[in-house]
Amino acid sequence: SGGRSDGACWEAWGKLEAVEGLAAERAKEDAWFKQKAEPQAQTVGDESPCEVPDEVLPGAGGAEGSLEGAADGLDLWDSCRALASRVGSEEGERLVQVLLGESRDRSHTQSQYARLGEGLASEHGPWGGEPAMDQALEKHWMLDPAEDRLRCRRKLVRNPWGSSHAASHAARGHTGRESKDLRDKTRGEGGGQGWREETLTKYQKRSDSLSDTSSLEDATEEGEEEEAEEAEAEQVARAEEEAVPPEAVLFSEPVDLLARAPLVVTAGSLEVTRDTLRFTATEEEADLEAAGSAGEAGPKTNPASHAWSVAKVEAKTWQCRHVTKLAFRYYALRFVAMEIFMADHTVLMVNCKTPEAAQRLHAAISLKSRPSGLVLQPQEPREVLKWTRAHGLGLTEAWVQREITNFEYLMTLNTIAGRTYNDLAQYPIFPWVLSDFESASLDLTDPKSFRDLRFPVGIQRPEARAEVAGRYRELESMLDSEDGDALDPLSAPFHYGVCYSNPAFVLWYLTRLEPFTSLSIHLHDGHLDKADRMFRDLGATYRACTSNPTDVKELIPEFFYMAEFLDKPAHLDLGTTQAGEATGSVKLPPWALGDSKRFVRLHREALESEFVSANLHHWVDLIFGYKQRPPQMANGSVEAVKACNVYRFYHYPDAFSMAEVEAEDPATHEVWTRTANEFGQVPVQLFPRRPHPQRLPLHQADIIWPIASAVPGAATCLPWQPQPAKPKHLLSFGPKAVSTKAVVLIAEVGHGRMLTLDALRVMGYHTKEPKPPDVVPPYTLKIDKAALDLATAIDRMGGAASSLGGADGGPLKAMSSLTSGGPLVGGHRERRLGVPFASLGTASSDPPPSTWQSTWPSKVHLAHDGAAQLAHCPSKDLAEPSFQPSVQPSSQVDGQVDGRGGSQGGAPPRPSSDGQGRSDLGAFREVSAELGPHLFAVHGKLLFSSRHWDGSFKVTDLETGQVLQSVALHHDVVTCLALAPEAKPSPLLVSASSDCTVMIWDLELESGGAGGGGGPVVATPRHTLTSHDDPVTCVAACAALDLVASASSGAVVLHTLHHGTYLRTLEMGNASVEGAEAASGDAGRGGSRGIDWA
């Protein structure tokens, strides 16, 4: 079709040739390098000749050299070091770096090659689209690691390694030793670990600054002053820092790359230069061995079905300019890790081994590499909490004042406290909020529908609380010291032997969703767990958690925003229970009506309900606050004992100096680390001294009621609470005329400034000054009279077509005087946008007569808050009278046709060009899009406009009205634009065209508007998307979801924004897709948002 058969094929063909050429060049370089390395190794140091193993050289075996070495279990790093020791120190070190660089580059090339192949063979690729082939290929999906602003993972992407795990079914029920031990531990069997408690007291931390809680506030105030001084010193250091060469190594130390830790941990080295972050694995483990086969008691299974989920990362490179945030983290009870947040919303986590190494990594990136989009934050979690702002308030104050939702507050607290998806032992924690899983309808105004948030989930019943408290007193009496001293934390009593969050609990909840299905198979020694032990019934799970004190697991965030993890994929067989019942999707409460999406929506409403809002601070005290730690620990409190909220000592970070443990007793350190990873860890304590404040009731909060969405919790007021006062009616004020023709765009452009653009392309700059809310109207709107007069003059001259027509140039001369600083314009600002819009109809050398049949409003209405709105929707016959050049359609020349025709030979046809990279426009095609806001995008003082007759989109400076840049790389009229202003490190612009393509552009705004093409838009698009078969009519972009949604006749196609990766197509049959809208930047606020189309 038009979008795939010409330029797209040539582009893909060229990429494949480039990749194959690179592989050939690499092979030649490897052969030459091997010839040079062997003689040199024989002449240095040794009497006997040095044999260089073929496996050491990544390219020795052709394109698969390094992979064959890894498959054979060869340690590439050790081999390089052995070779380096033979050829000398200086030359050997260079040799090692070259070999590792070769391995890293080859891994990157192979991944890019595989990615290109997947795109070419997809259903919308130039090599795909065959119905028989598409039906034969079974589609598997997995959770994408990209996170939105609230760290929610909302997207499912294709899983190229997906399978039905048929081999794991045959091995079901055979339990290996590893999985049996782990299951015993997660059932609360905390004893029997062989702790040498009498020898561990010396490792207890005795930090006066932590144990003396009375001086915490004074230390906090002093810390704020020190933080300000450090920030000032840092600015001075940045100013004095000399320019760093691009290849200068700023940081190079051994680290562990953490991805789904503790199951996937790759040891390696991280190298930081000014431009790149490069990770290279130092341990090449065979994937088959890493994945593991069945346990000793079970049969061998096919490791290919799940090995990909625990495969080690051989090498990976990131761009430093894409780093947006650095956060210090705990790992295995030590403050030695760091999370690196990237612009594509992925998060990299590394274990730096020591706090000093983490500091050096932070300095290398923040002070020397200096990413432009990096937002610096304090290091300590409590300082980060004070630093975090929301709507101009502190985080907790914003929640109390109801400026943010309960979900947003809990997710932010989890992030600050170090909870992360990269470590399953520190997965984010959310509370059980409901207790009613039996009723046919859910009543969110009845307190009996909710769980008691004052106590841990395992002791919801009074008799359970009495049992747990009695056991604690019994242990306390047994372990109390004879001399009456304070109890040793190592032998202190506890209420629970297992934490409320650990890797086994997380995988148990997410078994139906990849990659957690494969991780569960790996955890159970190559097979799925027995059906009776799986997560099958939500109501039964809650009853088990509230009746068994050894089963105290809380929920995970997915219960409040994702429905897919509750549904069983069609290809996955989870087995049958002993009663013969097949295990399918999770059994939901009756009020969910069997719909997982309905359950998630109602569950989210329950989280935002008034009962939970009034009691959530109690749960925060248990998990993040002053009830978290027992009195034997620093910042502990007897309130934790009263609330029955004490766990074993190895769940708490900073309970002991793990560095001292590792130095004096490595075996004990290994046991502690393994225990923390398997049993889970308590979050960092954020509120150590006093109770958390309560949230304001809805009727006491100062709320601005939105027009088109609901206030969270508004319909869930408790019986004793007054109903909040809702507005009775929508107040609208009189319209203001800004043009004589249809207004197609209204945008805020700075404080108190408003831009309007009409169908005559006249730009109006209006001033809006707010007034006190008791004044009617609460604003003053000053209309741009010069713009209104210009539109009136153009209309009197017979419209745009007549004003530009004529051989004598009379009307054109009159128009020029109106737009070049005359009295109507006022000053030297250009009042008219670009060139005429493309028209509907066919090409002609003479413009058709002006026929305006507009039903669009030419007046602006302001609502009670002063926001400008159009009166009603546009009509489909609205179009500017055409202004079309005398261009004849391109014809066949020498047996070839233009880019919109057929092909010649076996290769894709190259589009004909005018010498400037554009195909011949030929006849104007019918543009299905109407004039409207989808043709424009506004960012700061820049206006981006499309649908111009010359096939370009243009950038206009709103201060001067001058066109800064005209970009014409599409082969037809640009039909729509979308802007992702929150993308990092710079905003991204998306353009779509009637040539069936979508292009993603980088904007260079900080460099003075020099994007390489003479303006703010970079001359070459970042990605060209070619998945459409018909002209693209609308497009939307969302940086928070890393998503581009584009629509054509009958289909909505989804790609990733930063990488341009094809995701899927939503087929709409023969219906014409008129619009698409992606989720806003604050996705996650007030409920799940997705893509709407009409």
Query: Could you give the angle at which helices 666-679 and 177-186 cross, rounded to 10 degrees?
Result: 70
User: pLDDT band at residue 1012, thresholds of 50, 70 and 90?
Assistant: low
Task: Read off the pLDDT of residues 41-62 as tens digits, 9 standing for 90 and up.
Answer: 444 334 333 333 333 333 333 3
Residue 1069 is predicted with a pLDDT of: 62
- The encoded tokens of residue 309 equal 């989920």
Q: Minimum mean pLDDT among 135-149, 348-362, 407-421: which range?
A: 135-149
Q: Minimum mean pLDDT among 557-571, 744-758, 970-984: which range?
A: 744-758
Q: Which residue has the tokens 């080690």?
A: 312
Residue 665 is predicted with a pLDDT of: 86
Residue 236 is predicted with a pLDDT of: 47
User: pLDDT band at residue 322, thresholds of 50, 70 and 90?
Assistant: very high
Residue 229 is predicted with a pLDDT of: 53
Question: What average pLDDT is seen over the chain?
Answer: 74
Q: Which stretches within 512-563 are classed as H helix?
A: 516-523, 538-547
Residue 925 is predicted with a pLDDT of: 36
Task: Read off the pLDDT of residues 959-992 as tens digits, 9 standing for 90 and up.
Answer: 888 889 999 999 999 999 999 999 988 899 999 9
Closest CA to 1042 of 204, 144, 172: 144
Look at the alpha carbons of 80, 85, 91, 94 in this order and tell me if their dihedral is positive or negative: positive
**Per-residue pLDDT at 295 exceeds 50:** no
User: pLDDT band at residue 759, thresholds of 50, 70 and 90?
Assistant: confident
Q: Which amino acid is at 577?
A: T
The torsion angles phi and psi of 854, rounded to 5 degrees, stand at: -85, 140
Q: Minimum mean pLDDT among 517-521, 636-640, 774-778: which range?
A: 774-778
Q: Which amino acid is at 518?
A: S
Share of the chain above pLDDT 70, in %: 65
Contact 475, 191 (CB under 8 A): no
Which comes out higher in pLDDT, residue 891 or 88?
A: 88
Contact 653, 635 (CB under 8 A): no
Task: Read off the pLDDT of residues 626-636 as tens digits, 9 standing for 90 and up.
Answer: 999 998 888 99
Task: Pick from 154-158, 170-174, 413-417 the range whose average pLDDT is largest.
Answer: 413-417
Contact 418, 686 (CB under 8 A): no
User: pLDDT band at residue 761, thresholds of 50, 70 and 90?
Assistant: confident
Residue 373 is predicted with a pLDDT of: 86
Please enumerate, as own/partner, the contacts of 244-249 that have beta carbons within 8 Å and a separation of 24 or more.
Answer: 244/274, 244/368, 244/369, 245/274, 246/273, 246/274, 246/275, 247/273, 247/274, 248/273, 248/274, 249/273
Task: Pick from 304-318, 617-631, 917-931 the range whose average pLDDT is largest.
Answer: 617-631
**Per-residue pLDDT at 873 exceeds 70:** no
Task: Read off the pLDDT of residues 583-604 as tens digits, 9 standing for 90 and up.
Answer: 999 999 999 999 999 999 999 9
Q: Minimum mean pLDDT among 66-70, 614-618, 719-723, 1065-1069: which range?
A: 66-70
Share of the chain above pLDDT 90, in %: 38
User: pLDDT band at residue 1007, thresholds of 50, 70 and 90?
Assistant: low
Residue 685, burial from CB neighbour count under 10 angstroms (0-12, 13-18, 19+): buried
**Per-residue pLDDT at 210 exceeds 60:** no
Look at the alpha carbons of 1039, 1043, 1044, 1050 in this order and tell me if their dihedral is positive or negative: negative
Residue 931 is predicted with a pLDDT of: 80
Closest CA to 879 of 848, 845, 923, 844: 848
Residue 246 is predicted with a pLDDT of: 73
Residue 306 is predicted with a pLDDT of: 85
Contact 672, 648 (CB under 8 A): no
Residue 802 is predicted with a pLDDT of: 36
Which comes out higher in pLDDT, residue 646 or 282?
A: 646
**Per-residue pLDDT at 503 exceeds 80:** yes
Residue 177 is predicted with a pLDDT of: 41
Q: Identify any residues that bridge with 992 across adjacent strands, giving them in sequence order.
A: 976, 998
Task: Read off the pLDDT of residues 907-936 as tens digits, 9 standing for 90 and up.
Answer: 333 333 343 333 333 333 333 336 888 999
**Span 364-389, average pLDDT:** 92
Residue 382 is predicted with a pLDDT of: 95
**Per-residue pLDDT at 38 exceeds 70:** no
Residue 520 is predicted with a pLDDT of: 93
**Distance of alpha carbon 591 from alpha carbon 750, whole angstroms:** 48
**Distance of alpha carbon 226 from alpha carbon 221, whole angstroms:** 9
**Span 125-154, average pLDDT:** 76
**Span 100-122, average pLDDT:** 71
Q: Minimum mean pLDDT among 17-31, 678-692, 807-821: which range?
A: 807-821
**Per-residue pLDDT at 768 exceeds 80:** yes
User: pLDDT band at residue 235, thresholds of 50, 70 and 90?
Assistant: low
Contact 752, 768 (CB under 8 A): yes
Which comes out higher in pLDDT, residue 668 or 553?
A: 553
